Structure 1
Amino acid sequence: MITKAVRLYGKNDLRLESFELPPIREDEILARVVSDSLCMSSYKATSQGADHKRVHNDVAENPIIIGHEFCGEIVEVGEKWKSEFKPGQKFSIQPALNYNGSLDAPGYSYPYIGGDATYIVIPHEVMELGCLLPYDGEAFFYGSLAEPMSCIVGGFHANYHTTGGSYVHDMGIKEGGCMAILAGAGPMGLGAIDYAVHNELRPRLLVVTDIDDARLARAKELFTPEQAAQCGVELIYLNTAATPDPVAALKELTGGEGYNDVFVFAPVRPVVEQGDAILAHDGCLNFFAGPTNPEFKAEFNFYNVHYAATHIVGTSGGNTDDMIESLQMMEKGLINPAAMITHVGGLNAVIETTLNLPKIPGGKKLIYTGIEMPLTAIADFAKLGETDPFFKGLAEICGRNKGLWSAEAEKYLLENKAQ
Structure 2
Amino acid sequence: MLLRAVMIGPQKIQLEDVPLRKLEPDEVLVKVRACGICTWEQRFYQGVEGAYPFLGGHEIAGEVVEVGPRVAQRLAPGQKVAVASLIRCGECYFCRRGQDHMCANAGEKSNPGNYWGPAGFAEYLIAKGYEVYPLAQNVDLVHATLSEPLACVVRSIGRGNLRPGDTVVVLGAGVMGLLHLKLAQIRGARVIVSEPDPSRREKALQLGAIAAVNPFKEDLASVVKELTCGRGAEAVFFTAGGAPALKEGLRLLVKGGTLVVYGSLHPAVPLEIDPNDFHYSEFTLTGSIRHDKESFRQATALLSGGLIEVGDLVSARVPFPDMETAFKLAMAPDTYRVVLTFPD
Cα distance change of structure 1 residues 9 and 237 upon mapping to structure 2, 3 Å threshold: closer
- Aligned counterpart, 1:118: 123
Which letter maps to 2:80? K
Which letter maps to 1:97? I
| Residue of structure 1 aligned with 2:168, choices 175, 179, 185 | 179
Q: Report if aligned partners of 2:60, 2:84 keep a CA contact under 8 Å in 1.
A: no
Q: Report if aligned partners of 2:243, 2:265 keep a CA contact under 8 Å in 1.
A: no
- Aligned counterpart, 1:259: 233
- Aligned counterpart, 2:88: 98
Deviation at 1:281, TM superposition (A): 0.7
CA RMSD of aligned residues (A): 2.9
Deviation at 1:307, TM superposition (A): 0.7
| In 1: Cα distance, 2:13 partner to 2:256 partner | 48
Deviation at 1:112, TM superposition (A): 10
Q: Report if aligned partners of 1:30, 1:121 keep a CA contact under 8 Å in 2.
A: yes
Unaligned runs of 5+ in 2: 92-103
- Aligned counterpart, 1:230: none
Deviation at 1:69, TM superposition (A): 0.6
Cα distance change of structure 1 residues 349 and 297 upon mapping to structure 2, 3 Å threshold: farther
Is 1:189 matched with 2:194?
Answer: no
Is 1:249 matched with 2:195?
Answer: no
- Aligned counterpart, 1:342: 315
- Aligned counterpart, 1:202: 188
Q: Report if aligned partners of 1:181, 1:206 keep a CA contact under 8 Å in 2.
A: yes
| In 2: Cα distance, 1:156 partner to 1:290 partner | 16
Cα distance change of structure 1 residues 25 and 211 upon mapping to structure 2, 3 Å threshold: closer
SS of corresponding position for 1:348: coil
Q: Report if aligned partners of 1:150, 1:322 keep a CA contact under 8 Å in 2.
A: yes
| In 2: Cα distance, 1:68 partner to 1:74 partner | 17
Structure number with higher helix proportion: 1
Cα distance change of structure 1 residues 105 and 139 upon mapping to structure 2, 3 Å threshold: farther
Count residues with an aligned counterpart.
328
Deviations 1:370-398 (A, max 9, x none): 2xxxxxxxxxxxxxxxxxxxxxxxxxxxx
| Residue of structure 1 aligned with 2:295, choices 322, 333, 336 | 322
| In 2: Cα distance, 1:131 partner to 1:176 partner | 35
| In 2: Cα distance, 1:83 partner to 1:192 partner | 30
SS of corresponding position for 1:262: strand
Q: Report if aligned partners of 2:330, 2:337 keep a CA contact under 8 Å in 1.
A: no
- Aligned counterpart, 1:134: 134
Deviations 1:61-108 (A, max 9, x none): xxx642111110111222323863211111111122232532226999
Deviation at 1:359, TM superposition (A): 5.2
Deviation at 1:347, TM superposition (A): 1.2
Deviation at 1:133, TM superposition (A): 0.9
SS of corresponding position for 1:305: helix
| Residue of structure 2 aligned with 1:67, choices 49, 54, 57 | 57
Q: Report if aligned partners of 1:95, 1:105 keep a CA contact under 8 Å in 2.
A: no
Deviations 1:18-64 (A, max 9, x none): 23212324333222100000112223445669964xx7xxx5xxxx6
Deviations 1:260-312 (A, max 9, x none): 10112214222122211111111111122211113x23333322111111121
Deviations 1:190-214 (A, max 9, x none): 111111112xx322x3222222332
1:207-356 map, 5 Å: 207-221=192-206, 223-224=207-208, 235-243=210-218, 245-294=219-268, 296-351=269-324, 353-354=326-327
| In 2: Cα distance, 1:82 partner to 1:250 partner | 49
Unaligned runs of 5+ in 1: 160-171, 226-234, 371-417
- Aligned counterpart, 2:68: 78
| Residue of structure 2 aligned with 1:365, choices 315, 338, 343 | 338
| Structure possessing the higher relative contact order (Cα contacts under 8 Å, 6 or more residues apart) | 2
| In 2: Cα distance, 1:21 partner to 1:182 partner | 43
- Aligned counterpart, 2:31: 32
Deviation at 1:15, TM superposition (A): 1.1
SS of corresponding position for 1:79: coil
SS of corresponding position for 1:247: helix
Q: Report if aligned partners of 1:267, 1:290 keep a CA contact under 8 Å in 2.
A: no
| In 1: Cα distance, 2:117 partner to 2:199 partner | 42
- Aligned counterpart, 1:169: none
| In 1: Cα distance, 2:150 partner to 2:16 partner | 30
Which letter maps to 1:70? I
Cα distance change of structure 1 residues 27 and 182 upon mapping to structure 2, 3 Å threshold: closer
SS of corresponding position for 2:149: helix
SS of corresponding position for 1:173: coil
| In 2: Cα distance, 1:10 partner to 1:213 partner | 34
Normalising by structure 1, we get a TM-score of: 0.70
Q: Report if aligned partners of 1:150, 1:326 keep a CA contact under 8 Å in 2.
A: yes
Q: Report if aligned partners of 1:74, 1:88 keep a CA contact under 8 Å in 2.
A: yes
